[in-house]
Amino acid sequence: MLSRRLLRLKVIKSLYAHIKSESDNIRASEKNLVLSIDKTYELYFRMLLLAVDIARYAEERQEIAGRKKLPTYEDLNPNRKFVENVAIARIANSEAIRKYTESHSVGSWTQYPELLKNIYAKLSASDYFKKYMASPERSFREDVQLLTDFYTKEPENNEALEEVLEDLSIYWSDDLGFALTMVVRTLQNMRESHSDVKLLPEFKSPDDLEFAKTLFQKTAVQFERNCKFIDRFTSNWDVERIAFMDILIMATALTEITEYPSIPVKVSLDEYIEISKFYSTPNSSYFINGVLDKAVEALKADGKIVKTGRGLL
C-alpha cells in the first residue's frame, strides 16, 4: 500500500508543476496528481512481473542451449531450480494480478529483451543466486527468499531498468524504491497454503486519496498566504536565494499542520523534514526545521493549530 509519505511527495511534485506552469486549472492538476498516484501502484504490479519474465528468459536460454548441434551434458540437463521457482509460478498464475494487469493494460517485460538479459546476467553472477542454485533443498521458503534477495539487491541500482522506466512513464521518477518495498512486503506475506498472491491494496485507509487531493487543493489555494507567513521567519535569509522547493515544502507542511486536526504536529514536521533531505538542497532540512519550529510556535500562540485527540500537539 502507498505510504502517506509517498502521497505527500506526490502532492509536492504536483504543486511544483502546477505553480511553475502558472496554471489556474486546479482540477486538471489534481487529476494529474491522482494519475501519478495510480501509476505508482501500477509500477508495483510491473515489478512483481519482472521476476516472472526473467525466469521465462532463463528457461528460453536453456531450451536454446538444448537444441545445439553438440550440446553438453549441462545443456541437456540444466539446473531448472530457478525456472521452476514456486513463488515465481505463484505470481505468474495469480488471478488477482492477471485481472489488474489486463484492466490496466500492463505490458510484459519481454518487449525489452536486452534489459532481461542485463538483469539475468547480474542475477546469475550474484553469490546468493549461486548458493540458491547449488543447494539441493527445494522449498517454498527458499524460493521466496531468493525473490526477496533479488528485489532487495538488484533492480534499484540498475541503470538499464531506470532508463526503461523513464521511457514507460514520466510519473515513475523516484517511485521504484516505493514499489519495491511493496513487492518485498507482498513476498513476506506469501504462504505455501495460499493458492493466490495476497496483494497489497493501493491505500492503507479509504481516506488516503482524499487526504492527498485535499492537501493539494488547500496548499494551492493558500500558497501565497503561506509564503508571506514564512517570510516572517526568514528575515536573516535572502528570500530570493531560498530554494523554491524549500518554500513549497514548508507551505505544504503548514497547510497540513493547520488543516488536519487528527495528524500530530510532530508527525507532519518529521515527514516534511525527511522529504527535504532527499528532494531539496543539502542544507534544506536544517533550514526548514528551524523555520517551521518558529512558524508552529507562532501559530500555536495565535490559536491556529487545533488538534483533536490526546497528545496530538
Fold of 208-301: N-utilizing Substance Protein B Homolog; Chain A (1.10.940)
Mean pLDDT, rounded, for 142-157: 96
With beta carbons less than 8 A apart as the criterion, state whether 301 and 281 touch.
no
pLDDT per position as a tens digit, 173-232? 889 999 999 999 999 999 999 889 999 999 999 999 999 999 999 999 999 999 999 999
Q: CA 113, CA 11: separation in Å to the nearest integer?
A: 35
Q: CA 59, CA 131: separation in Å to the nearest integer?
A: 19
What Å distances lie between residue 257 and 9, 223, 246, 304, CA to CA? 16, 14, 16, 9
Residue with cell 542485463: 118
- Residue percentage of the chain with pLDDT more than 70: 97
With beta carbons less than 8 A apart as the criterion, state whether 219 and 15 touch.
yes
pTM: 0.92
- Report domain extents, the chain: 4-188, 208-301
pLDDT per position as a tens digit, 167-187? 999 999 889 999 999 999 999
Q: Which of 96-105, 124-133, 280-289 has the lowest mean pLDDT?
A: 280-289
Q: Which of 28-37, 57-66, 300-309 has the lowest mean pLDDT?
A: 300-309
